[in-house]
Structure 1
């Protein structure tokens, strides 16, 4: 069967993107321009742009049209970023990832709440036991890249700087160490999916952009669970790296 016109247009645009003829961040021709160029209806041109968006090659940003996705990855160093040599000396775990790029947080809330059932099991707590919940959004170069929600047992962290928006140098793990519950072991579980509507809005995701979900479990000596951190990452902005001895 002949290739439908919208597929032919999408194939040509994809070739231009992959060859570099249309570079990262460059504007893709509009629906009307493509319709005029190829002699098709605007709906056909719209379908072609939809193919590229679904493949993650382009993204539509409000007020700036459709552009080739500008891939400036954050190299998330899964082992190096959690080393005690970093947070134990008062540095942010993000320093291992950003190479000097500016990091900010917003939408920060810190409150004591009843523990959700699935978190209670991970923290070895009774259902609805009090936990301190730290919820925030991370921005790199003023672009939202990750949402994170941490859960910490109230019996451990109540009254400490962990219950304040700013935990101080070294962050949560340094403060846990101050409380006598230094993390000595971490476990992370990751999976990918398409974003929920509120996630897509909070991360300003372009159409067709998936997210990576990472859940981190932190344990103190004796296997005591001290934190569960649920993270939602913009998959288009990250490369994942793990480095370990053979």
Structure 2
């Protein structure tokens, strides 16, 4: 174990051996001795160092994977999971200046953090809204909405999926209903259509991901998601968009500035 010095097991500890091993590797990750993207010592190396059976090592590695610290790549080994953090500033991310610069919120905040933003899996449909979406938009479930579904990536790693619902009477036959919504995103298009944005309301909760979300976001076992629902309101008080977003919790720091008056 010359490349990664790890302590020996403590025979006097009442902590299970596999948990001691997991503790050692976790500490190396937390201290930066094992950095993001680094390969964890192989099962054979760990077995030799600790003098334990393969199952004990497998149990230790499973603990780390369950905590979202490592990811196993078939045929390659176990690696420290990369976490491309984006500080999501609720007081700034929808600032009009970003749209005027031709940047949607995700692009502005990702580039601000030094990451490379991309969007894929774009799908657009016209459909009837769910009861919850209809209520937020102030329409009926018999009305139609334009639904824009997409996935966001940072440096090629998926971090977020989102579906925006815009009343069809607003978005139908506009660039909002096209795969490329243009510079500044759909909020810029809404303002061009005369719906000047006034404020946003967001509700956020944390939960474990659904199976499709695990696949879409390539989540490690044990990593929860933020489920965020945002409603955008125009200056006349009308709700013009509902965005249902699922975010990998280890990719974001949610930061809020709240006035004290």
Taking structure 1 as the reference length, the TM-score comes to: 0.92
Q: Match of 1:212, SS?
A: strand
- Could you tell me which residue of structure 1 aligns to residue 83 of structure 2? 71
User: Is 2:30 the partner of 1:18?
Assistant: yes
Q: CA deviation at 1:88?
A: 4.0
- Could you tell me which residue of structure 1 aligns to residue 40 of structure 2? 28
Q: CA deviation at 1:30?
A: 2.8
Does the 8 Å CA contact 2:46/2:57 hold for their aligned counterparts?
yes
Please give the root-mean-square deviation of Cα atoms over the aligned residues, in Å.
1.9
Q: CA deviation at 1:63?
A: 4.8
- State the alpha-carbon separation in 1 of the partners of residues 54 and 71 from structure 2: 18
Q: CA deviation at 1:62?
A: 4.2
Unaligned runs of 5+ in 1: none
- State the alpha-carbon separation in 2 of the partners of residues 134 and 83 from structure 1: 21
Q: Match of 2:34, SS?
A: coil
Q: CA deviation at 1:96?
A: 3.2
Taking structure 2 as the reference length, the TM-score comes to: 0.87
Which of residues 110, 113, 125 is equivalent to 1:111? 125
Aligned positions of 1:162-177 closer than 5 A? 162-177=176-191
Aligned residues between the structures: 246
- State the alpha-carbon separation in 2 of the partners of residues 186 and 148 from structure 1: 16
Q: CA deviation at 1:95?
A: 1.1
- Could you tell me which residue of structure 1 aligns to residue 10 of structure 2? none
Does the 8 Å CA contact 1:60/1:207 hold for their aligned counterparts?
no
- State the alpha-carbon separation in 1 of the partners of residues 76 and 91 from structure 2: 38
Spell out, residue by residue over 1:177-197, the C-alpha distance to the aligned partner (whole angstroms, 9 max, x if none). 122212211011111222212
- State the alpha-carbon separation in 2 of the partners of residues 31 and 112 from structure 1: 51
Mean CA deviation greater in 130-139 or 86-95: 86-95
Does the 8 Å CA contact 1:25/1:67 hold for their aligned counterparts?
yes
- Could you tell me which residue of structure 2 aligns to residue 221 of structure 1? 235
- Could you tell me which residue of structure 2 aligns to residue 50 of structure 1? 62
- Could you tell me which residue of structure 1 aligns to residue 5 of structure 2? none
- Could you tell me which residue of structure 1 aligns to residue 6 of structure 2? none
Cα 1:208–1:60 change in 2 (3 A) is: farther
Does the 8 Å CA contact 1:213/1:231 hold for their aligned counterparts?
yes
- Could you tell me which residue of structure 2 aligns to residue 2 of structure 1? 14
Q: CA deviation at 1:16?
A: 2.1
Which of residues 69, 87, 110 is equivalent to 2:99? 87
Which of residues 63, 71, 92 is equivalent to 1:59? 71
- State the alpha-carbon separation in 1 of the partners of residues 142 and 79 from structure 2: 46
- Could you tell me which residue of structure 2 aligns to residue 211 of structure 1? 225
- State the alpha-carbon separation in 1 of the partners of residues 203 and 250 from structure 2: 19
Unaligned runs of 5+ in 2: 1-12
- State the alpha-carbon separation in 2 of the partners of residues 157 and 180 from structure 1: 12
